[in-house]
Amino acid sequence: MIMKEDLFENQRKDMILGQGAILFAGLAKKIDKSLLSSVQEITQLAPFRHMKTSGGFDLSVAMTNCGLLGWVTDEAGYRYQSFDPLSGLVWPKIPPLFLELALEAAERAGYSSFVPSACLINRYVPGAKMSLHQDKDEDDLDSPIVSVSLGLPATFQFGGFNRTDPLQKLLLIHGDVVVWGGKLRLAYHGILPLKSGHHHLTGSTRINLTFRKVF
């Protein structure tokens, strides 16, 4: 039996968000179970945690990393570092399947030389959000951001170079991949509070993989 959700997903198309930015509808769905299995393996070595901002507030999104570098935040501020502050060990390697997906998406978007050095893994539960922000902690701002959505749907906000610029609001569903770079590399973006729901692979959560080249 074909479910309404499947019909909706099959009717969705790729969408250009601006110059150098594109949404690939369902690109990751064909390997979703393998991606989530790799997430589970990574989080056994580097568990999800709620990091603190420099102001001492806990992020509502639980995070971890894999790759040569990992993004962290604490009272000292935002930065990348080669080891997990919880264990003192280097971050787990980026799985080959992750790299293949990130490179495929980047190349489709016109960024053929992209090789990520960091993959942030975010876990959202109902009510968790990501406030509008720019990804600007990287030294390499010529390379794009590649973002993969798994699990529950979320509303993605994509704006301009000022926090008050008009926003596009896009529903990201399981398997969607968004790539942005070039002139829009420093566009403000965020995720509205996650709505309650159930996904057959992730339960009541959304998993986001964000690939970046730091240097």
Nearest Cα to Cα of residue 122 among 131, 111, 113, 114: 131
Domains of the chain, earliest start first: 15-212 (2.60.120.590)
Q: Is 27 marked within a binding site?
A: no
Q: Is 65 marked within a binding site?
A: no
For the chain, what percent of residues have pLDDT higher than 70?
95
Residue 130's contacts (CB-CB under 8 Å, 6 or more residues apart) are: 61, 122, 190, 191
In one-letter notation, the amino acid at residue 114 is: F
Q: What is the CA radius of gyration of the chain?
A: 16
Residue 42's contacts (CB-CB under 8 Å, 6 or more residues apart) are: 64, 66, 92, 95, 121
| 158 Rama sector, left if φ>0, alpha if ψ -120 to 50, beta otherwise | beta
Q: Is 180 marked within a binding site?
A: no
pLDDT tens digits, residue range 56-111? 899 999 999 999 999 999 999 999 999 999 999 999 999 999 999 999 999 999 99
Label residue 1 by pLDDT band (50, 70, 90).
very low
pLDDT tens digits, residue range 106-141? 999 999 999 999 999 999 999 999 999 999 999 999
Q: Is 194 marked within a binding site?
A: no
Q: Is 140 marked within a binding site?
A: no
Q: Is 108 marked within a binding site?
A: no
pLDDT of 2 > 50? The answer is: no
Q: Is 135 marked within a binding site?
A: yes
